[in-house]
């Protein structure tokens, strides 16, 4: 599946503020959440609706309704939690799991330290959240961990993605659709996305 990149003037505007090194923690958090909401809307374009009958103030009608019990959000700790508020606004009753990873600064490989998901996650469509898709290592590990639980449909949402990371995920997991707000130029020698926005986790939690 080809990665879907949001292409909209308002998204670019918000990304400009997000990238600015002078943007404070409060505004940074709010923008991460807001862009995540837009990403979730895009990712739900193929959602299946169940037919139901309701009564408006004027008459009865048949219409479609989303079964929110069919979905789960799984942020990659810690930065992925910054996207949760935004996506929960879209699907409030989705269940939530967590995958804990950090980057080994010498090898640049992800180190897994936590995994907790709903018991019936195999019956749900899973949307993995991580603001930065850089080398693709964390994304691939997270997808593999979710697949081991029997999940058949997985989507991956990120704010900023590097071409190198996209390529690796698409090669390893061609069945997983990636959605991102912007595809940046490349990774630098330290495997950070450039121009990027810095360390998303540090900026979300004010630890930079």
| Cα distance between residue 59 and residue 36, in whole Å | 36
The question of whether 124 is a catalytic residue gets the answer no
The closest of 38, 187, 45, 201 to 131, measured between CA atoms, is 201
Match 């292409």 to its residue by tokens: 7
Q: At what angle do helices 137-147 and 163-172 cross, to 10 degrees?
A: 30
Render the burial of 146-155: b for 16+ CB within 10 Å, e for the rest.
bbebebeebb
Which of 103, 124, 130, 184 is the catalytic position?
103
The question of whether 202 is a catalytic residue gets the answer yes
Contact assessment for residue 131 and residue 158, using Cβ atoms and an 8 Å cutoff: yes
Which of 16, 63, 107, 207 is the catalytic position?
107
Phi, psi of 146 (to 5 degrees): -70, -40
The question of whether 107 is a catalytic residue gets the answer yes
The question of whether 199 is a catalytic residue gets the answer yes
| Cα distance between residue 86 and residue 74, in whole Å | 13
The set of catalytic residues is 103, 107, 199, 202
């Amino acid at each position: 599946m080809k990665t879907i990149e949001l292409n909209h003037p308002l998204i670019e505007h918000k990304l400009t503020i997000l990238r600015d090194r002078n943007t404070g923690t409060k505004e940074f958090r709010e923008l991460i959440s807001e862009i995540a909401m837009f990403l979730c809307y895009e990712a739900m374009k193929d959602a299946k609706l169940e037919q139901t009958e309701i009564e408006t103030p004027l008459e009865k009608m048949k219409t479609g309704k989303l079964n929110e019990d069919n979905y789960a959000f799984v942020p990659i700790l810690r930065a992925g939690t910054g996207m949760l508020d935004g996506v929960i606004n879209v699907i409030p009753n989705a269940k939530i799991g967590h995958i804990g990873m950090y980057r080994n600064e010498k090898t640049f490989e992800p180190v897994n330290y936590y995994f907790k998901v709903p018991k019936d996650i195999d019956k749900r469509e899973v949307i993995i959240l991580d603001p930065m898709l850089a080398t693709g290592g964390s994304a691939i590990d997270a997808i593999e961990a979710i697949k081991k639980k029997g999940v058949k449909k997985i989507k991956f949402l990120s704010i900023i993605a590097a071409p190198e990371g996209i390529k690796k995920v698409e090669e390893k997991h061609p069945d997983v659709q990636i959605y991102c707000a912007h595809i940046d130029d490349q990774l630098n020698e330290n495997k950070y996305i450039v121009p990027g926005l810095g360390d998303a986790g540090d900026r979300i939690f004010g630890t930079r």
